[in-house]
Amino acid sequence: MAEARQQQARETATGELEQGFRDAVSRHDWHTARELVHAFEDASPDSPRPRQMLAEISHQQEIEQRQQALAEGLRAFDGYLRAGQVAQAEVALRVLRQMGAGDQRVAEAEQRLQQALR
C-alpha cells in the first residue's frame, strides 16, 4: 500500500513538473525549463523524459535564435534600402534567402528590392 502511494505521489509530482515545463517553454523561459527538467530527474531518475525535455529546449532555442537572426537581417536590409544602399541590400537579401527560405518576410523583402531597382 505504501508503495502504491509513493508511486501516485511520484506521478503527481512529475505531472506538475511536466506542466510547469510546458508553461516555461511556452514563455521561452529556458532557465526555468531546465530547472524543472532537473527536478523531474530527481523525482523520476529512471525516466527517459528529462533527456527528451532537454532536446526540446535545445530545438526551441535554435528556432528562436534563427527567428531573431532573421529579424535582425531584415532590419539591416530595410536600413540599407531606406539609405539607398541597394548593393548592400542585395547582399543582405542573399543572406536572408539562405536563412529564411520560404519565409513570407523574405519574399516581401525581395519585392521591395525589385521596386527599388525600378
pTM of the predicted protein model: 0.76
* Cell 537572426 sits on residue: 69
- Residue type at 32? T
pLDDT at 1: 78
pLDDT at 97: 93
Q: What is the 3-state secondary structure (H, E, C) of the chain?
A: CHHHHHHHHHHHHHHHHHHHHHHHHHCCCHHHHHHHHHHHHHHCCCCCHHHHHHHHHHHHHHHHHHHHHHHHHHHHHHHHHHCCCHHHHHHHHHHHHHHCCCCHHHHHHHHHHHHHHC
At residue 117 the predicted structure's pLDDT band, cuts being 50, 70 and 90, is: confident
Distance CA 107, CA 20 (A): 38
Distance CA 48, CA 55 (A): 11
* Lowest-pLDDT range of 12-16, 40-44, 48-52, 103-107: 12-16
pLDDT at 118: 82
CA proximity to 101, closest of 78, 60, 73: 73
Q: Tens digits of per-residue pLDDT, 41-80?
A: 998 899 999 999 999 999 999 999 999 999 999 999 999 9
Percent of the chain at pLDDT exceeding 70 = 100
At residue 4 the predicted structure's pLDDT band, cuts being 50, 70 and 90, is: confident
